[in-house]
Amino acid sequence: MTAQTSVSELPVVIIGAGLAGLTVALHLAATQPVIVLAKRQLEEGATAWAQGGIVGVLGTDDSIASHVQDTQDAGAGLVDEHTAEFIARNSARAVEWLVEQGVPFSPDPEGPLGLHLTREGGHAVRRIAHAADATGKAIHDVLLAEVKRHPNISLRERWMAVDLITDRHLRRAGGPGATLSPTDHRCHGVYALDIESQRVETLAASAVVLATGGAGKVYRYTTNPDTSTGDGIAMAWRAGCRVGNMEFIQFHPTCLYHPQERSFLITEALRGEGAYLRLPDGTRFMAAHDERGELAPRDIVARAIDFEMKKHGLDHVWLDATHLGEAFLKEHFPTIHARCLSLGIDIARQPIPVVPAAHYTCGGVVTDLSGRTDLPGLYGVGETTYTGLHGANRLASNSLLECVVLGRTCADDIQAQSRQMPVVLPGWDESQVTDADEEVVIAHNWDELRLVMWNYVGIVRTTRRLERALHRIKLLRSEIDDYYANFRVSRDLLELRNLVDCAELIVRSALSRQESRGLHFSRDYPRTLPVSFPTILCKKPKKKDAWLP
């Protein structure tokens, strides 16, 4: 079966319905049709979970140079200065655009744009626009409502991308596409699974945008939603794109430690407003690790908590905000106050039990500042990408900003491209597979992979642990590939396949970095080298395990 579409009808297919995907869709929809795929409910992405806010260089006490410096300091020497300057220079316009869309940021009549600005770890001044402590949800709700109203945007809920369609699919299938030169290389669309019907469709596209978020679910404990399975990173890697800085997985220092809530984030803004980290006896410990105390960058705070937990044999530490007062906490952190109270923790009177958890993927698919990948016709925006902004550690609240700024430039570049002549795309072939007979294999491999990553590739690493992890990942990959080859695809199988790809990328990147820097800390290489470079992995075609550091 084949799929062919006329040039005028070819849509842009955006994989992911978070801030990155919705921003691209809204900027594109005035000139061309757009399809947005969301593999779960539209509200379930990572954007809606973001509590802190979005950076805006707005105040008279702030400057682009100051924001760039803070980004570079947090990124531990691996931030691309041109990227950081471009993002900072466009930050005010990004916040203004969100205000124009109707995002209800917390007001301050005396603040720039009438907004209240807060401060988070690593920032020299207050520059974080926020909507109380649920900024991501406020932004996502507004943009999603706009997208739903737009006649040129088609939202497909519970649809998951299986793989990108490239020239190798055309050559393998024969037909008109097989006449393409071996030097031609392009993304022509995507195979997508309708999860409700379990049917895979062939979606031809003028361009495909990866906006799938990070790979936090590769770890046993994470602040990420279930959607964060590294889908875009894995698909782009399999299609031949470079991947960068995958060793730098940010562990958020303060995830709520509670048996009923394993993924609830306690925003960094709480420490920005003066909350303290304490041991069970009440001792504050951050001053012993960094002169900035609780306002040190996330990697330092996470390692400090990890150190204290191991030193004292603790399951968690305490985040104490009781001295801030009940009225202040209810006004500025209503979501955290209400959620903790529902679990029996009154944060105005009791410290909050917290533990570090995998939070943000600082590396990803290599793109430029227009979202272009190595594969023509394929773009990426947001956490799924590596642009050089985050370096070895992301500065708080730069993530939402990157989505808005580069979402616009991505859309601009797509609109500027000449229309591609359509080609006949091969349909999805299920003739050699059957229904799965033992789905317990997927659940078992999923649990084993996440446990291996948590135990061997966590906050503190060693070469031996990484080598052990790589050995086990290879064994898991063999089982998963065999399962994929013989049975019909499902969401769980596709996510597991993508996670094992991301796990191997993380481990191989970590093994290639023989120093400690930012989020990557190795006991075998504790020093930071005077000069260092990003870790870029390149997959050579037709050679197994052909990796270039």
Q: What is the pLDDT of residues 378-406, one digit of tens each?
A: 999 999 999 999 999 999 899 999 999 99
- Inform me whether the pLDDT recorded for 300 exceeds 90: no
Summarize pLDDT for 474-523 with one digit per residue, the tens.
999 998 988 888 888 889 999 999 999 999 999 999 999 999 999 999 99
pLDDT of residue 1: 38
**What whole-number distance in Å separates Cα of residue 147 and Cα of residue 29?**
9
**What whole-number distance in Å separates Cα of residue 349 and Cα of residue 188?**
57
Confidence of residue 438 (pLDDT cuts 50, 70, 90): low
Confidence of residue 184 (pLDDT cuts 50, 70, 90): low
> What is the average pLDDT across 168-179?
62
pLDDT of residue 260: 81
Which pairing describes strands 460-461 and 521-522: parallel, antiparallel, or unpaired? parallel
Instruction: Assess whether 172 carries a catalytic annotation.
Output: no
Q: Which two tokens stand for residue 53?
A: 């806010």
- Tell me how far CA of residue 217 lies from CA of 227, 307, 346, 407, 481, in angstroms: 8, 23, 29, 24, 19
**What whole-number distance in Å separates Cα of residue 262 and Cα of residue 220?**
10
- Inform me whether the pLDDT recorded for 207 exceeds 90: yes
**What whole-number distance in Å separates Cα of residue 538 and Cα of residue 548?**
5
Confidence of residue 265 (pLDDT cuts 50, 70, 90): confident
Query: Strand locations in 7-120, DSSP E?
Result: 12-15, 34-38, 54-55, 117-118
- Inform me whether the pLDDT recorded for 180 exceeds 80: no
Q: Name the average pLDDT for the chain.
A: 90
**What whole-number distance in Å separates Cα of residue 516 and Cα of residue 480?**
32
Query: Strand locations in 417-462, DSSP E?
Result: 425-426, 460-461
pLDDT of residue 396: 87
Domains and CATH numbers, the chain: 251-358 (3.90.700.10), 440-537 (1.20.58.100)
**Helices and strands per DSSP (H, E), number in the chain:** 15, 23
pLDDT of residue 467: 98
Summarize pLDDT for 358-369 with one digit per residue, the tens.
989 999 999 999
Query: Strand locations in 362-484, DSSP E?
Result: 364-366, 378-380, 385-386, 425-426, 460-461
pLDDT of residue 543: 47
- Among residues 538, 516, 539, 549, which one has the least CA distance to residue 77? 516
CB 106 within 8 A of CB 113: no
Confidence of residue 2 (pLDDT cuts 50, 70, 90): very low
**What whole-number distance in Å separates Cα of residue 404 and Cα of residue 100?**
13
- Inform me whether the pLDDT recorded for 34 exceeds 90: yes
**Which residue reads 């023509």 in tokens?**
376
Catalytic pick among 127, 242, 298, 450 = 298
CB 394 within 8 A of CB 362: yes
- Inform me whether the pLDDT recorded for 122 exceeds 90: no
Which helix H or strand E contains 164, and what residues bound it? strand 159-166
Weakest-pLDDT range from 296-310, 387-401, 434-448, 465-479: 434-448
Say which DSSP state 392 is in. T
CB 255 within 8 A of CB 296: no
Query: Strand locations in 95-177, DSSP E?
Result: 117-118, 128-129, 153-157, 159-166
